[in-house]
């Protein structure tokens, strides 16, 4: 840098020195480049920013550094939000960093999916649980093929702490006398339990959800 190197010079794919460092995980170089004023929002030819590169590569420390220097935590890059990018590849630590920084938990990618929907579809239970506990809304439709164990993990994460004992309840006993009746103040969770009753039935995207008062 002192010799006059161009910190914004890119290769034919639009990779700047900062983007390359974020992708490879060289946190020291990232810090130096940001301190020297490197463009933290420069996107490569595929529309990917340094933050997306760090998120999808699992470099939580670099994600934190970029956010400290003001990188846009909600900017879509190549159709992905930083949260959905991290959830797609299952980088739970990155998801936590983004949430602590105030990333929009309900922001959607270009396909209209939230980070939680991406985590569930890709089978990333740790990311899904972190997002649910942080307040992400449960989806009304689950993709086919999810195991009962994964669905139980989603539910146990969704139930508020003071009702956490319900996580071990036999959830195929859905009825007026079941613990579901105790969730009147949590309609979203009640709906989730009734629709996904964990009795081996799998809701597909062609079925309509039952109306729950």
| Domains, the chain | 1-137 (1.25.40.20), 141-213 (no CATH)
Q: Which of 10-19, 129-138, 149-158 shows the lowest per-residue confidence on average (mean pLDDT)?
A: 149-158
Which residues, including other chains, have CB under 8 Å from residue 162's CB and lie 6 or more apart? none
- Per-residue confidence band for 2, with pLDDT thresholds at 50, 70 and 90: low
Q: What percent of the chain has pLDDT over 70?
A: 67
Whole-number pLDDT of residue 90: 96
Residue 25 Ramachandran class (φ > 0 left, ψ -120 to 50 alpha, else beta):
left
Cα separation, 143 vs 156, in Å, equals 18
pLDDT, position 85 = 95
pLDDT in tens, 22-78: 999 999 999 999 999 999 999 999 989 999 999 999 999 999 999 999 999 999 988
pLDDT for 204 beyond 50: no
Total residues found in the chain within this entry = 213
Tokens at 157, concatenated: 């994460």
Does pLDDT of 200 surpass 90? no
Torsion sign, CA atoms 159, 161, 166, 167:
positive
Kindly list the distances between the CA atom of residue 146 and the CA atoms of 123, 149, 172, in Å, as whole numbers in the listed order: 8, 8, 17
Quote the CA–CA distance of 211 and 208 in Å, as a whole number: 9
Res. 5: pLDDT tops 80: no
């Amino acid at each position: 840098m002192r010799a006059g190197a161009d910190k914004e010079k890119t290769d034919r794919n639009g990779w700047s020195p900062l983007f390359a460092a974020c992708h490879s995980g060289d946190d020291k170089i990232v810090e130096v480049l940001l301190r020297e004023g490197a463009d933290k929002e420069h996107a490569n030819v595929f529309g990917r920013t340094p933050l997306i590169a760090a998120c999808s590569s699992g470099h939580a420390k670099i994600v934190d550094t970029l956010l400290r220097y003001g990188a846009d935590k909600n900017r879509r890059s190549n159709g992905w939000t930083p949260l959905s990018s991290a959830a797609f590849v299952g980088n739970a630590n990155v998801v936590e960093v983004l949430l602590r920084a105030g990333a929009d938990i309900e922001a959607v990618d270009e396909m209209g999916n939230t980070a939680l929907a991406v985590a569930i579809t890709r089978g990333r239970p740790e990311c899904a649980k972190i997002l649910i506990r942080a307040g992400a809304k449960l989806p009304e439709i689950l993709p086919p093929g999810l195991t009962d164990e994964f669905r139980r993990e989603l539910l146990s994460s969704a139930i508020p702490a003071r009702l956490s004992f319900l996580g071990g309840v036999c959830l195929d006993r859905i009825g007026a006398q079941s613990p579901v009746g105790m969730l009147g103040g949590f309609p979203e969770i009640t709906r989730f339990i009734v629709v996904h009753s964990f009795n081996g039935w799998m809701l597909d995207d062609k079925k309509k959800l039952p109306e729950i008062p």
